[in-house]
Amino acid sequence: MRCFCGRPALESGYCPYHDPNCVRDKRCRRSLAFTPDCEGCNLPGGEVFDSAPRLRGAKIHGPLIVQYVVGDVDLSEARGADLYIHSVRGAVRLGGSRFRNIYIDTVEGGVDLTGARAVGVVLWSVKGSVAAGGLSAGGHVSVVDAAGPVALGGAKIAGELIVEGVRGTLQAGASAYSISIYKLRGEASLSGASTEGDIRVVESQGERLDLSGVEVGGRVYILASKFGGVRVDKQEVLKKLVVL
């Protein structure tokens, strides 16, 4: 008898990688070996080099390290602990995934975090777009040095949202404790954003800064920045605006 994936099956009809009871049994769990191509599998943590992993819907019981790969990394709907991704010549797909911490450094393509959940998220040096609409983070989220458009609309962030060095359109209508934007070169929209603390836009420039629909508990600081126009549609936000 074989599992639907083609591996030999247990009495349950599933192989150890697809049998949800295997990870609850110590002896069965010890038989599992990490493999980078196993959709919907239960896997121990591991490391991936060279070939891009395809682990859509996988449940990874330990840290996962992905480095120096060519091709698209697919971890959509996956579950796991800490995720570290470095140097990918392709795109990274994490839509609907759940990890404790996500660290991504140097990606030639785009990064999809739509609907993902994590405690902390760090993105560094992304050459393509960043799609993180509906992202949920229990801590801080940092996006540094992104060349493509960055979309964070509807994201819910318990800590601070930090965006630095984005070269392109920024859509940051997120809910966060505070929002800090540094050295942006492009149009910025914070429409619908809400913060308990401050919103800071520092050393940035572009055609437009949209602050419509913003709810801010602290102040809105625009420091050493230059925009073709700034849109504010709430009197209470205008009163909290500080431009230096």
What's the whole-number mean pLDDT along residues 212-225? 97
Please give the helix or strand (H or E) that residue 218 lies within, else none.
none
The band of 10, judged by pLDDT with boundaries at 50, 70 and 90, is confident
Q: Taking 90 as the threshold, does the pLDDT of residue 79 lie above it?
A: yes
Single out the residue of 144, 140, 152 nearest to residue 127, CA to CA.
Answer: 144
117 token code pair: 């959940």
Residues in the chain: 244
pLDDT tens profile 92-127: 999 999 999 999 999 999 999 999 999 999 999 999
Determine how β-strand 175-176 pairs with β-strand 194-195. Answer: parallel
What's the whole-number mean pLDDT along residues 33-58? 90
What are the residue ranges of helices labelled H in 41-85? none
pLDDT given at position 124 = 97
Domain ranges (residues) in the chain: 44-243
96 token code pair: 């609907």
Q: Taking 90 as the threshold, does the pLDDT of residue 7 lie above it?
A: no
Average pLDDT value for the chain: 93
Within 13 Å, how many C-alpha atoms sit on residue 213's CB side? 11
pLDDT tens profile 159-181: 999 999 999 999 999 999 999 99
Residue 26 in 3-state DSSP?
helix
The band of 19, judged by pLDDT with boundaries at 50, 70 and 90, is confident
Q: Taking 90 as the threshold, does the pLDDT of residue 33 lie above it?
A: no
d(CA 158, CA 88): 29
The band of 17, judged by pLDDT with boundaries at 50, 70 and 90, is confident
